[in-house]
Chains A and B, each alone.
Chain A
Amino acid sequence: MKKLYPLVIILITFQLLGCKSKREAFVTIAPPVKPFFQEKVGLALNSPPPMVMPSAKTINEIEISSQYFKIAVSLVLDKSGKAEAIKNLIDDQFATALDQTKRFTVMDKGTMMNLVTNTEKGVVYETGVYKETKSPKYENEPDSVISVDEKTQTSQPIASTKKNVNMFVPKKSIFQLFGNLETNPQAYEEYVNEIKSYTDGVLRIVITGFDDKNKKLDIDYKISSSTTSNYPLYSGSGKIGFSLEKEEATLTLERKDIESIVDDIAKSFPNPELKTYQIIQVNGRKITVNAGKKDNIKTGMLGYVIKMDGARTSYRAWIEVTEVFMDAFNAELKVEDLAKINSNRGKENSVTDDEYAQYVNLLNTIKVGEFVKMK
């Protein structure tokens, strides 16, 4: 038995060791790494695109009908009582001579006659279109215009006429409209005033003398401003020669005499092609310009504030001379009436109230140093 002790001890030890070998520590396969938790997750707050404002029509220049002085020659008055046959030639030839100077925009005599004769009884001339404006009698027939029977002097509506169609309207004569201009100064003024509304000035010519022996006419002439009647823009007197071929019954005026007078007139208006002036002071709607008497500036003359951008000249406002000094003149900045602008543009291109407000606002932007050209 004793011999077996070592074997038992070995077995026990082996058993013990065997038991020990069965003990094995447990660890989890791989402890996970904690996921990433972002501390601050943001949020982008966006709005849809902004509204784009429509482009407002920015008006920074005015429209002008003529760069040059618009002039009409009124019917000549014969105060001598002897030149009845000649007087109708004089205004025509003066108009031609004025036109040839290229200093003026001259209203054609025919157009002028139309204007005057058709203004009566609510019919006006508008950009080549005759249309009714106010005729109580034919209120309900807006497409009708008045036809005036020259013999009976009665008005008749023209049937089935269309608006905006240039049509012939029988006219009254100047005499029928205004009476005898020579003997009725008031009638003459009314007649001239009618022309003025379409021009910057009117050249009035009066025959004051008739020298049949020397074949000379004495005339007085003056250009009155259409905007102010207080001051003539130019005045003078002169003689015009004429010849009468009795055999051929032709009457001829000396063109040289007329051209000489017209030349003086043209020279008395500052030429916009030659001279540009500058504003030296602005006070509200009043400006002062560095040109005066010595530059032939006269009260009542018209001009423009201009902007020169390379070869292009834009017109920013029109001015009317109010006071003239030796080296400077004052003028008023002006904008045409909305109604007048629109009557020139026609309904489709008419200026809206807002656009007109921009025209007016343009006057507030005129500054010292800007350029001025006379009309």
Chain B
Amino acid sequence: MTSIKHQIFPSFRKTKKLWILLILWELSCNVYAQNYSCPKANNAYSSLIDIIDKTRSLDLLVTENVYGNPSYETYTKYNNRLNQAQKMLVQLDQIDKDFKECADKFPNSTNYLLNSSISKLTALNILFKKQNYLNHLMLDANTLKQYEDLKDKWESKERENLKLARSQVSRLLIGDKSNEYLQILNAICLFYDKKTDKAIVDLKTIVDALKIEITQKKSEAADVHEKEKNLSFALTWLGFMHAEKSNVAQASIYLEEVNSIDEPDSRCIDWIDHCKKQNKEAKVKCCDLKVAEITIPTSTGNFEWKALKFQNANNTSEEFNLLEVSTPLITNQRELIKQTTDCWNRLVALENVSWQLYVERIQQTDGKLSSDDYAKLFVKLTPDNKGAGPINLLRYRERFVSGFELLNHLQFLRQCWSALITSNPEIGFYKLYRTKTDLGIYYLSQNSKSFTEFLDYYKLNKKSIPTQFAIKIKESFEISVLNELNDDIRWCIKENPENPMYILTNVEVAVLSKSSSEALSYINEVKPLIVKATPNFPGYDGALEMYKSYVHFKMKNMGDLKQSVQILSAYGNASDWNKDLKNYIYLFENENKVKK
């Protein structure tokens, strides 16, 4: 008997999960069970609920943004998300069609028309954020056509859905003017129709009326569940609309209010919780909290790239020549990011050359530098030494060529980033990279003399550099970017005040452009913010310490500098800088040994 029993129920324990799933499925079916006279409507209803719940899976935080240089894996992630959204739009179309059929068959029942409107508004939730889904296609030449086709299709769908949803909701409202739920839907239609201010006013009126009704009903111990559900619906959209208008403080107030309702709609609560969690993470990981549509500038113009040459055009004889090469701007952001980073690597390396040579000589001679040693160093240019000989001047010439090339490159990049910013003023990421570029230009302009001084001494075939060239070159170094640089970073911080990347960039600006005491004071001020915002990202804290050490280095504050070196030894990504710092400390400590 037992064996038969086992044969019939061979492995209940093994299939326990399956049973639980079946029971849950059955329960969920019951939850969604609606009984419509129109048979199609039952399926359409459960499919609609299913899609509304699934739209959550489209909301995610991608670790690499489309403005940057997304990897293949990230690109696939963006693509999968787009495919998922497209599938949902097709399903929503079918659902809408089913409800409309039912509405025609049963004209006396308003439910079908209402559900048809809801399915259209759900589709609008996706279509409204089309740049969220399509941006990545525009950044690849191979998918540009697909981008344009989809953008047109989505835009026309958005217009059509909005028009129909508005007319359906208006029709329903005629028959039931005091219905708060329909009034909320109407306000949502207004929002999608870009009448946000009117939508906000309407929703606020609905919210106020609902609050009064709920208070009255509660005092009469009546059922207020339906009213509270509508109140949470209205408040959530009110919060969202304020957030879209960048009125974050007001948005938070409304969204917090939803949490204080006794029986709010669970989907509203879930959406708010998810947004809160994702926004908290986004403040740290993302530059841009809003995803703007990317516009690639069509006519970008050229940059006049200057270079001082020491031979004629045919390289046949030695003579000065200042060449200006017209170079088209780049709009490929991946390339721009790469080149901006590369410029900074070159700048850091270039500025370290003189230090490295000096330290190396001192280390090898214990400070007793001979003429041969000086021949390997940069010797200061003075009117007395008249350039300290041709080898020294040639070394300065090389430094100038590299520095001037770097300056031109940074100015070129600046113009490229500016072109992107002009077309996309809402994207902070571009402004951030222009700031990084400007920082390099600012550094070079502040130290221009160290590059251009050699022009006064250098001679080619006993001829000095022509004055008009020297003036042009010196003018190139006298570029002022500080105001725009400050404007950019201020804009970024205003958009996302807690973003550690923006805060660090502001520190970089302070360290390079302000007095040491001001810079140190700012570093100390923002340190708690950085530590709080990035508990799991020691890189930020390490970067802050790097800037601090830089200020100590500039001030030759040996005690603090040594302490910084010790702290930085714990940060792997600061190892190169720490190595340089150790050299600088060695130099400061052994400088006095050098017999001048």
Instruction: Point out which of A45, A47, A356 has the most chain B C-beta atoms below 10 A from its C-beta.
Output: A45
Whether A46 contacts B275 by the Cβ 8 Å rule is: yes
Whether B58 contacts A30 by the Cβ 8 Å rule is: no
Q: Confirm or deny: B153 has a beta carbon within 8 angstroms of a beta carbon on chain A.
A: no
Among the stretches B307-315, B344-352, B408-416, B468-476, the one at the interface with A is B344-352
Report the Cα distance A352→B291, complex, angstroms. Answer: 45
A38 CB contacts on chain B under 8 angstroms: 501
Report the Cα distance A171→B547, complex, angstroms. Answer: 105
Q: Confirm or deny: A168 has a beta carbon within 8 angstroms of a beta carbon on chain B.
A: no
Q: Confirm or deny: B19 has a beta carbon within 8 angstroms of a beta carbon on chain A.
A: no
The answer to whether A30 and B550 touch (CB under 8 A), given A40-B64, A44-B289, A51-B125, is yes
Q: How far is the CB of A311 from chain B (nearest CB, A)?
A: 15
Option from A22, A29, A37, A48 in Cβ contact (under 8 Å) with B125: A48
B98 CB contacts on chain A under 8 angstroms: none
The answer to whether A47 and B129 touch (CB under 8 A), given A34-B345, A353-B106, is yes
Q: Confirm or deny: A28 has a beta carbon within 8 angstroms of a beta carbon on chain B.
A: yes
Among the stretches B142-150, B214-222, B504-512, the one at the interface with A is B504-512
B379 CB contacts on chain A under 8 angstroms: 23-26
Option from B226, B267, B587 in Cβ contact (under 8 Å) with A50: B267
Whether A51 contacts B281 by the Cβ 8 Å rule is: no
B546 CB contacts on chain A under 8 angstroms: 33
Within 8 A of A (CB), among B45-81: 48-49, 52-53, 55-56, 58-68, 81
B285 CB contacts on chain A under 8 angstroms: 40-42
Q: Confirm or deny: B161 has a beta carbon within 8 angstroms of a beta carbon on chain A.
A: no
Among the stretches A210-218, A234-242, A357-365, the one at the interface with B is A357-365
Residue of A nearest to B359 (CB): A27
Whether A27 contacts B378 by the Cβ 8 Å rule is: yes
Q: Confirm or deny: A248 has a beta carbon within 8 angstroms of a beta carbon on chain B.
A: no
A23 CB contacts on chain B under 8 angstroms: 374, 379, 385, 388, 596
Whether A354 contacts B111 by the Cβ 8 Å rule is: yes
Among the stretches A53-61, A90-98, A318-326, the one at the interface with B is A53-61
Report the Cα distance A43→B281, complex, angstroms. Answer: 10
The answer to whether A42 and B65 touch (CB under 8 A), given A27-B355, A354-B111, is yes
Option from B62, B344, B378 in Cβ contact (under 8 Å) with A26: B378
Q: Confirm or deny: A21 has a beta carbon within 8 angstroms of a beta carbon on chain B.
A: yes
Give chain A's interface secondary structure class: loop
Q: Confirm or deny: A6 has a beta carbon within 8 angstroms of a beta carbon on chain B.
A: no
Per-residue A-contact encoding for B535-564, CB less than 8 Å = 1, 0 else: 000011001001101100110000000000
Residue of B nearest to A32 (CB): B443
The answer to whether A30 and B577 touch (CB under 8 A), given A24-B380, A45-B61, is no
Residue of A nearest to B131 (CB): A45
Q: How far is the CB of A218 from chain B (nearest CB, A)?
A: 55
Within 8 A of A (CB), among B73-115: 81, 106, 108-109, 111, 114
Whether A353 contacts B596 by the Cβ 8 Å rule is: no
The answer to whether A49 and B505 touch (CB under 8 A), given A37-B436, A41-B287, A44-B61, is no
Report the Cα distance A358→B287, complex, angstroms. Answer: 52
Whether B348 contacts A34 by the Cβ 8 Å rule is: yes
A310 CB contacts on chain B under 8 angstroms: none
Residue of A nearest to B512 (CB): A32
B374 CB contacts on chain A under 8 angstroms: 23, 25
Whether B236 contacts A49 by the Cβ 8 Å rule is: yes
Q: How far is the CB of A197 from chain B (nearest CB, A)?
A: 26
Q: Confirm or deny: B420 has a beta carbon within 8 angstroms of a beta carbon on chain A.
A: no
Q: How far is the CB of B112 from chain A (nearest CB, A)?
A: 9
A175 CB contacts on chain B under 8 angstroms: none
Q: Confirm or deny: A31 has a beta carbon within 8 angstroms of a beta carbon on chain B.
A: yes
B377 CB contacts on chain A under 8 angstroms: 25-26
10 smallest CB-CB distances across A and B, nearest first, come from: A44-B282, A31-B351, A357-B35, A353-B37, A43-B65, A42-B285, A26-B378, A52-B233, A36-B543, A26-B380
Provide 15 A-B residue pairs closer than 8 Å at the C-beta atoms, listed in order of the A residue. Answer: A25-B354, A25-B358, A26-B380, A26-B381, A31-B580, A33-B550, A36-B501, A38-B501, A43-B64, A44-B278, A46-B132, A50-B125, A56-B111, A353-B36, A358-B35
Residues of A within 8 A of B (CB): 20-38, 40-56, 352-354, 356-358, 360-361
